[in-house]
Amino acid sequence: MRSIVAAIKRHPGLRSERGAVIVELAIVLPLFLLILAGVIDLGFLFWEKEVLTNAAREGARAKVQAGTSGERFTDTQVRSRMQDYLRNLNIKDAAGAPITLTSSNCTFTWDTTATPPRLTVTLQNIPVNLMMLHKVQDLFAGAGGIGNTIYLEAKCTMAREW
């Protein structure tokens, strides 16, 4: 301990650097936390996009397969199955309510010119909120940048081969 004090007395320039680490931490830590919040938000956003894609895949599979008694599922039944999939994984819209699939944001398109016929299920304009970044943005009111709500889209095409 005495040797450290003696070194500081011999080199007076070291004395001015004693608080530099705390100042650097105070400058860098908020930036690091902002980057971390962005990475977490983007991770959740990509996860929600994958869940929507899987829901579209489930809907396409249900629509092209024959039911156990040979009947086809109606569009409403397929939308209900997709909504159940989204609810089971707790996917919510921008308002925090469960996502409601309607004929305007969930469409079924058959391509009968292809052999075998192909069905494309499209989920569009599905609003989701960022978790943290929009709260950080509120600190800088009027700064512009990203909005609170992001609209996701998912699409799946499946052939009817049986």
pLDDT in tens, 28-50: 998 898 888 888 888 888 999 99
**Is 2 a domain residue?**
no
**Is 146 a domain residue?**
yes
**Is 112 a domain residue?**
yes
**Is 154 a domain residue?**
yes
HEC per residue, the chain:
CHHHHHHHHHCHHHHHHCCHHHHHHHHHHHHHHHHHHHHHHHHHHHHHHHHHHHHHHHHHHHHHCCCCCCCCCCHHHHHHHHHHHHHHCCCECCCCCECCCCCCCEEEEEECCCCCCEEEEEEEEEEEECCCHHHHHHHCCCCCCCCCEEEEEEEEEEECCC
- Are residues 85 and 62 in contact, defined by beta-carbon separation less than 8 angstroms? no
pLDDT in tens, 62-104: 888 754 446 678 888 889 999 999 999 988 888 888 888 988 9
Q: Which domain holds residue 120?
A: 42-159
The whole-model pTM stands at 0.73
Domain count, the chain: 1
**Is 37 a domain residue?**
no
**Is 13 a domain residue?**
no
